[in-house]
Amino acid sequence: MSPVLVVAITVVAVLLALLGAAATLVRRRIGLLHVAGTVVLEILLLVQAAIALLALAGGERPAETATFLGYLLGVLLVPVAGLLWARTEPTRWAGGVIVVAGLVVAVMAWRLLQLWEAARG
């Protein structure tokens, strides 16, 4: 778990949420930009999961291992589910779904870091 990666994830997630909000505000459907943002976010999350799993395999332990794993793997589903759910929505509110997904990922990334750092004390 690297704080730099968590910051990168947060920046992309918040940007994606802003793009989603923009689409809703100007009454547009989501576009290629939203898809691209989601893909970038998902790649960063996969990198994070790989790094964390390697560290776990190397014997490092976060504060609550079960909860940590739940967040680590659960967060991978959020951008994918958000995008699929938004893509089938033909109105301006598709952007709203992207907002929810982006904010949830940002919160979950920090919660993960918190659990990881807690073990270092």
Partner 1 sequence: MGEERAADAGPAAGTGGPGRVLVAVYAVFALAAGARAAVQLSTRFAEAPLAYLLSAVAAVVYVVATVGLARGGRAGRRVAFVAITTELVGVLVVGTLSIVDRAAFPDETVWSVYGRGYGFVPLVLPVLGLLLLRRSAGSATAR
SS3 of residue 1 by DSSP: coil
Q: Which residues of 65-98 are buried (b: 16+ CB within 10 A; e: fewer)?
A: eeebbebbeebbebbeebbeebbeeeeebbbbbb
CB of 4 to partner 1, least distance (A): 26
| Euclidean distance between CA atoms 22 and 119, whole angstroms | 39
| Euclidean distance between CA atoms 72 and 81, whole angstroms | 15
Amino acid identity at 85: W
Find the binder of partner 1 among 2, 92, 110, 119 (CB under 8 A): 92
Q: Which is nearer to partner 1, 1 or 95 (CB)?
A: 95
CB of 107 to partner 1, least distance (A): 9
Residue whose C-alpha is closest to residue 79's, from 30, 37, 115: 37
Q: Which is nearer to partner 1, 2 or 29 (CB)?
A: 29
Per CB under 8 A, which region of 4-12, 36-44, 49-57, 62-70 contacts partner 1? 62-70
Size of the site for partner 1 (CB under 8 A): 32
Per CB under 8 A, which region of 5-13, 27-35, 40-48, 112-120 contacts partner 1? 27-35
Per CB under 8 A, which region of 6-14, 54-62, 94-102, 112-120 contacts partner 1? 94-102
